[in-house]
């Protein structure tokens, strides 16, 4: 649970000044603000400065103008929601990349919120802010198709956990979908070994990839190395960024990441590393 000052600081980061009793409308407001203002990213991994995923550290990232990836984002958001009176559960989950099979492997931390309906029945909502370009608003844990702006999502039963569920991504999204285990977790200790693999292992997909994503009502943004992919409605535009000044501008203005905890020298080193990897990627593309 957060103390009063932490709650106030977290809400300020989201651009929210009021505290309301738990409700679906307020949950949507919090969820949308989180998705828009706090990006999913691999920044601290690629710089060799991975942050721990204990809840206090993750909350301090959010209140300190920083960010992270699913373990940090859903961990901190869950603590904020609990402090505000919501019934929150974390879940073992797994993201299915293109060309691979579905999985529940604890490499993704899922988040659900249980709310009471007017008929005093409990209804479960997927409130996952740790996926970058995934839902802008919470989705019900109920089979169906759901439209959010230009994005189309589906919720179906999971083939991995018969009692769990699967969130199918938009066809133009960054992955095929996510499977969630039904059983909720009361702590995130399950995910610590996975975080160590993601942040320290040479086999990690993020160790040599600068990637930052966010979502808004009518689209999404992704900065993969030096390629900015902007989606507005059904239109996708890709731009190669070739200067440090423009790269930092996009990072700050579009993704709200101003590298406030990185010195000028460290920003220079980050840009040099990202540009080097980008040039290497372009060479690899020519050889294919």
Topology (CATH) of 198-282: Arylamine N-acetyltransferase fold (3.30.2140)
Nearest to 285 by CA among 224, 222, 199, 203: 224
Instruction: Pull the structure tokens for residue 28.
Output: 């949507």
Convert the pLDDT of each residue in 55-103 to its tens digit: 999 999 999 999 999 999 999 999 999 999 999 999 999 999 999 999 9
Mean local confidence (pLDDT), 139-159:
97
Task: Please report which confidence band the pLDDT of residue 117 belongs to, taking 50, 70 and 90 as the band edges.
Answer: confident
Domain boundaries, the chain: 198-282
Strands (E), the chain: 40-41, 87-96, 108-116, 122-126, 139-140, 144-148, 151-157, 165-168, 177-185, 211-216, 219-224, 227-232, 235-240
Task: Please report which confidence band the pLDDT of residue 288 belongs to, taking 50, 70 and 90 as the band edges.
Answer: low
As a whole number of angstroms, the distance between CA 201 and CA 279 comes to 23
Mean local confidence (pLDDT), 125-147:
96
Q: What is the pTM of this model?
A: 0.96
Strand 151-157 with 139-140, pairing: unpaired
Residue 227 has pLDDT above 80, yes or no: yes
Q: Are 97 and 176 in contact (CB under 8 A)?
A: yes
As a whole number of angstroms, the distance between CA 35 and CA 136 comes to 7
């Amino acid at each position: 649970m957060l103390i009063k000052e932490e709650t106030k600081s977290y809400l300020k980061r989201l651009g929210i000044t009021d505290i309301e009793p738990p409700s679906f409308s307020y949950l949507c407001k919090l969820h949308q603000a989180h998705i828009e203002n706090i990006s999913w990213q691999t920044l601290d991994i690629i710089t060799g400065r991975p942050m721990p995923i204990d809840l206090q550290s993750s909350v301090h990232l959010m209140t300190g103008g920083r960010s992270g990836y699913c373990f940090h984002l859903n961990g901190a958001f869950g603590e904020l929601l609990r402090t505000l009176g919501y019934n929150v559960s974390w879940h073992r989950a797994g993201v299915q990349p293109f060309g691979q099979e579905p999985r529940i492997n604890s490499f993704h931390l899922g988040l659900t919120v249980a709310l009471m309906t007017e008929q005093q029945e409990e209804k479960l909502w997927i409130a996952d802010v740790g996926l970058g370009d995934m839902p802008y608003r919470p989705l019900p844990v109920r089979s169906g198709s759901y439209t959010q702006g230009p994005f189309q999502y589906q919720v179906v039963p999971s083939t991995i956990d018969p009692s769990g569920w699967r969130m199918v991504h938009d066809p133009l999204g960054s992955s095929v979908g996510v499977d969630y285990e039904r059983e909720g977790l009361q702590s995130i200790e399950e995910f610590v070994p996975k975080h160590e693999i993601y942040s320290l292992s040479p086999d990690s997909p993020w160790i040599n990839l600068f990637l930052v994503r966010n979502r808004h009502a009518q689209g999404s943004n992704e900065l993969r190395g030096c390629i900015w992919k902007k989606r507005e409605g059904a239109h996708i535009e890709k731009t190669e960024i070739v200067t440090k000044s423009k790269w930092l501008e996009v990072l700050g203005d579009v993704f709200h990441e101003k590298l406030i905890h990185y010195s000028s020298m460290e920003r220079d080193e980050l840009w040099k590393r990202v540009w080097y990897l980008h040039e290497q990627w372009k060479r690899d593309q020519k050889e294919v």
